[in-house]
Amino acid sequence: MTDHRIRATDFDLRMTLESGQVFHWLPDGDGWVGLIGNCEVRAEQRGESLMIRGTTPDVAARYFALDHPLRTIYRRFPKDSFSLAARKACAGTRIIRQPHWECLATFITSSMKQVAHIRQMSFAIRERWGDRVQGSRFRMYPKPERLAGATEAGLRACGLGFRAKNLLGAAQWIADGRMDLDAVAKLPTPAARDVLCRLPGVGKKVANCALLFAFERLDVVPIDVWIGRVLRAMHGGSKLTAAELDAFCADRFGDYAGYVQQYLFHYARISKTLPGQ
């Protein structure tokens, strides 16, 4: 197995993998191991280099979104002190390119769950229905066609609770052709969101997670309880409707609002602070 060295400026592998966008990478010594496509990949950062084993440099660079113009994105960040602190503390975090179904499915299971448990459910589902990866302890995230043949009880046994019915339903919609994620990828963002929201267990927040983390819509802002707190604190603590929160982000965060959101989300969690504290 040959190692590749990729030049990776403005990139922080650990921040990227721990920021709550992807749920299956595991620490491995000074690096990380996970799946890109159907290959087990080991990645280790050494300064501005990324050491890659298990796939080609092109594939890894695309997965980790090393082409995103991070300097430009930072220039468009808000200038308030909390956003500046988030940008500094989380520097190098990138919004990676995840597979459509894997990302959508994991966020369907995410509702009212902590990040650690989303990860646990993802591994349980992979273990039970995922295909083995050659020479790896990992299993693929099962395709919709495979999960469509699961049972609600089987999914509940993976810890999904009431989310089991939603994931099963969504898998069936895709497996039988009622939903076509490749077609969704070609739609403008508002239409794509509306279509995704037809799936059981997919509302605006989950649809926005999929749009940002898998469909490359970097202006989209998923608003969960954490981001809701951050935004309200930025707005002086007043209570805002969902529509007002959306408008606030669109106004203040611009074309890369999803990136801003990711930094604010991760920084609020690791610093245990909110704007104005």
Of positions 65, 89, 91, 115, contacts DNA by CB under 7 A: 115
Q: Does the footprint of DNA cover residue 117 (CB under 7 A)?
A: yes
Of 102, 262, 267, 268, the one binding DNA (CB under 7 A) is: 262
How far apart are CB 112 and DNA at their closest, in Å?
A: 4
Give the binding range for DNA (CB under 7 A) out of 28-36, 44-52, 128-136, 240-248: 240-248
Rounded to whole angstroms, the Cα distance separating 184 from 166 reads 19
In the complex with DNA, which residue's Cβ is closer, 84 or 157? 157
Q: Does 265 engage in binding with DNA (CB under 7 A)?
A: yes
Among 12, 78, 120, 136, binds DNA (CB under 7 A): 120
| Options 4-12, 49-57, 187-195, 199-207: segment touching DNA (CB under 7 A) | 199-207
Among 45, 55, 98, 261, the residue binding DNA under the rule CB under 7 A is 261
Q: Of the two residues 148 and 274, which places its CB atom closer to DNA in the complex?
A: 274
Size of the site for DNA (CB under 7 A): 44
CB nearer to DNA: give 69 or 203.
Answer: 203
